[in-house]
Amino acid sequence: MIDQPFDYSESIRSELSVTAFVALGSNLGDSALIVSKAIRELSEKPGLKLISSSALYVSKPIDATGNDYVNAVVALECFLNPVDLLILTQEMELAYGRVRSFVNAPRTLDLDLILYGHAQVNTPWLVIPHPRWTQRAFVLKPLQSIAPHLVSDQMLIAVDDQQIELLR
């Protein structure tokens, strides 16, 4: 978790980019509006360019309590290194009022870095690929809609018992 605002614009690489996938979720407040706004804000951040965005989905909480979640996944052309992207997403969560009062607490905005190119990172504060991305329908279904090559039929079958539907 970050303690103070970070000027991530200084870490932007000028020519090299990777495709990063970020999952968004919210189950406090006007979740559809919050997720939609967060997608737009991500696309406007220095060092990020929106490649594609899934539709919004509604899912039941997993290993948590609270309201249903609104979820989406975005693909970003990313000129930031993974740590700076993590810092940027945590700053956005804080700006939306995210409070980490307990594990899996309800949240106004949750941004998870799912994939960062082909990178594999394993530190106490950042793991890429996200350790549970293949176990969550709220990641797999939206991801399948924007990057079907990343989601196999076997992955979807494994999460078939998790309720998720398009937000209408």
Is the residue at 4 inside a domain?
A: no
38-96 pLDDT, tens digit each: 999 999 999 999 999 999 999 998 877 789 999 999 999 999 999 999 999 999 998 98
pTM: 0.88
Given the residues 7, 84, 110, 153, the one annotated as active site: 110
Q: Which of 7, 30, 84, 98 is catalytic?
A: 98
Active site includes 110? yes
Residue 31's CATH number: 3.30.70.560
User: Is 112 among the residues known to form the active site?
Assistant: yes
Active-site residue 40, yes or no? no
Q: How many residues does the chain have?
A: 168
Residue 1 lies in a domain: no
Residue 85: give the domain boundaries. 14-166
Q: In total, how many domains does the chain have?
A: 1
Is residue 138 predicted with pLDDT exceeding 90?
A: yes
In this structure, are residues 32 and 70 in contact, taking their beta carbons and an 8 Å threshold? yes
**Is 132 an active-site residue?**
no
Q: With respect to residue 81, please indicate whether it lies within any of the assigned structural domains.
A: yes
